[in-house]
């Protein structure tokens, strides 16, 4: 079995409303979809949702990287995933979002070839995955309203974006907790928005609101700051922008900088490397979350399969497809019911049908 053809598509997906976090705002997600066809007639789907702020990649650089990688992948075995990734790494360094699209498509082919949903093939620790829904930054009052709406839709966990103004951030959480009561998990994400001193002060004030954990309180590069915040916070600290690779995970563990880690396929380069981060973290007693950037239902399905497969991925923030107005996956992938990601019986990632109008014609075909 060999890789016979690789198609690359460029898609623009609009958000339902402008999504604001501490480091910026977006109204559209510019994603790259990869379709890999094998000489056995199996088709695998993958997706890249690059974030320039996080990995320096754009949809343009992803296509440029795929231009270098795709011709060399032709003829390789799609099932020998680590070899394929080794080849990609030997051609281009870094560029994890571009490589994640290929890694996903290969995992999709693996599941379809074995005739199993991917998560079951890989051990199926869970059969459904609890995801939160993210509340983008607005005024504290508006966010409290959004929180109530989300809970009424069935969500059992809220991820609240903060990191803009310490005083207002405290107000956000106070109003949200008051509005939703105590039976909903509330987690925070400051997206590097605070100084270590601000983080310690704000988190101190938020302790009484029963916060599950706080994501990336300070700058990604500020390892010392992260250590300091963790030492002085009763709320568990999660790394996101500070952890891209398995090597980063090890560095954070050795510095005793965090209690939790957020794995994103777009940061680490796909499921194979995401699994490695989760395993390294498990050895240090650090639970992981699976997160997302602006993926459609393709990338979200891949994240959900990994979270279901791996015991140490105990939390999920898999909601970008829900925040997008444009639905690229028409049929298949995962669905959300009462905060749970539910898996279809289909093989691989379970993607059955894409919206052809959104997908458009391939930008590149390698064969």
From 103, 108, 128, 189, active-site residue: 189
Any catalytic annotation for residue 40? no
What percent of the residues of the chain are helix, what percent strand, and what percent coil, each to the nearest 5? 40, 25, 35
Tokens found for residue 254: 């050795």
The residues, ordered by sequence, that sit 6+ positions from 56 with a Cβ below 8 Å of its Cβ are: 94
Nearer to Mg ion, 113 or 262 (CB): 262
Kindly determine how many residues on this chain lie close enough to bind Mg ion according to the rule CB under 5 A. 3
The residues, ordered by sequence, that sit 6+ positions from 35 with a Cβ below 8 Å of its Cβ are: 6, 7, 8, 9, 43, 44, 45, 105, 362
Supply the DSSP symbol for 110: H
From 108, 128, 215, 319, active-site residue: 215
> Can you name the residues that pair with 324 across neighbouring β-strands?
15
Q: Which of 248, 184, 196, 256 is nearest to 222 (CA)?
A: 196
Any catalytic annotation for residue 231? no
If one counts every other C-beta atom within 10 angstroms of the C-beta of residue 92, the result is: 16
Among 189, 295, 319, 321, binds Mg ion (CB under 5 A): 189
Tell the smallest beta-carbon distance from residue 220 to Mg ion (Å).
10
Tell the smallest beta-carbon distance from residue 16 to Mg ion (Å).
20
Is 146 an interacting residue with respect to Mg ion (CB under 5 A)?
Answer: no
Tell the smallest beta-carbon distance from residue 145 to Mg ion (Å).
23
Any catalytic annotation for residue 361? no
From 103, 169, 240, 248, active-site residue: 240
Tell the smallest beta-carbon distance from residue 189 to Mg ion (Å).
4
Reported as half-sphere exposure (CB side, CA atoms, 13 A), residue 43 has a value of 9
Any catalytic annotation for residue 185? no
Among 57, 108, 128, 215, binds Mg ion (CB under 5 A): 215
Tell the smallest beta-carbon distance from residue 54 to Mg ion (Å).
9
Nearer to Mg ion, 112 or 264 (CB): 264
The residues, ordered by sequence, that sit 6+ positions from 50 with a Cβ below 8 Å of its Cβ are: 30, 31, 32, 57, 58, 59, 61, 62, 97, 98, 266, 293
Candidates 89-97, 186-194, 196-204, 318-326: pick the segment binding Mg ion (CB under 5 A): 186-194
CB-count burial class (<10 Å; 0-12, 13-18, 19+) for 186: buried
Helices (H) and strands (E) counted in the chain, each on its own, are: 15, 17
Is 132 an interacting residue with respect to Mg ion (CB under 5 A)?
Answer: no
Nearer to Mg ion, 144 or 293 (CB): 293
From 161, 241, 319, 321, active-site residue: 161
Any catalytic annotation for residue 142? no
Among 240, 248, 295, 309, binds Mg ion (CB under 5 A): 240
Residue found by looking up tokens 């992948």 in the block? 73
Residue least distant from Mg ion (Cβ)? 240
Task: Name the site residues for Mg ion (rule: CB under 5 A).
Answer: 189, 215, 240
Q: Which residues are catalytic?
A: 161, 189, 215, 240, 264
């Amino acid at each position: 079995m060999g890789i016979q053809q690789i198609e690359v598509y460029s898609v623009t997906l609009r958000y339902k409303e402008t999504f604001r976090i501490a480091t910026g705002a977006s109204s559209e997600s510019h994603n790259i979809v990869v379709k890999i066809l094998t000489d056995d007639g199996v088709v695998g789907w993958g997706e890249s949702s690059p974030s320039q702020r996080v990995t320096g990649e754009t949809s343009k650089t992803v296509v440029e990287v795929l231009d270098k990688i795709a011709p060399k992948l032709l003829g390789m075995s799609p099932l020998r995933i680590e070899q394929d990734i080794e080849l990609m790494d030997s051609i281009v360094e870094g560029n994890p979002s571009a490589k994640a699209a290929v890694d996903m498509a290969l995992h999709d082919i693996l599941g379809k070839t074995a005739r199993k949903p991917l998560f079951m093939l890989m051990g199926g620790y869970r059969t459904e995955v609890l995801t939160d829904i993210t509340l983008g930054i607005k005024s504290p009052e508006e966010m409290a309203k959004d929180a109530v709406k989300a809970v009424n839709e069935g969500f059992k966990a809220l991820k609240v974006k903060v990191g803009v103004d310490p005083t207002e951030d405290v107000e956000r959480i106070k109003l949200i907790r008051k509005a939703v009561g105590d039976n909903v998990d509330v987690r925070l994400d400051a997206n590097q928005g605070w100084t270590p001193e601000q983080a310690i002060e704000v988190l101190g004030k938020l302790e009484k609101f029963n916060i599950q954990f706080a994501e990336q309180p300070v700058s990604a590069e500020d390892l010392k700051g992260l250590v300091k915040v963790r030492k002085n916070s009763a709320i568990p600290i999660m790394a996101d922008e500070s952890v891209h690779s398995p090597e980063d995970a090890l560095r954070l563990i050795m510095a005793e900088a965090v209690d939790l880690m957020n794995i994103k396929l777009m940061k680490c380069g796909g499921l194979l490397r995401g699994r490695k981060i989760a395993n390294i973290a498990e050895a240090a007693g650090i639970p992981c979350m699976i997160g997302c950037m602006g993926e459609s239902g393709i990338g979200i399905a891949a994240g959900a399969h990994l979270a279901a497969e791996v015991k140490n991925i105990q939390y999920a923030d898999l909601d970008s497809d829900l925040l997008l107005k444009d639905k690229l996956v028409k049929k298949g992938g995962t669905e959300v019911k009462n905060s749970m990601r539910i898996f279809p019986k289909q093989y691989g990632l379970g993607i059955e049908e894409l919206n052809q109008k959104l997908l458009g014609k391939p930008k590149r075909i390698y064969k």
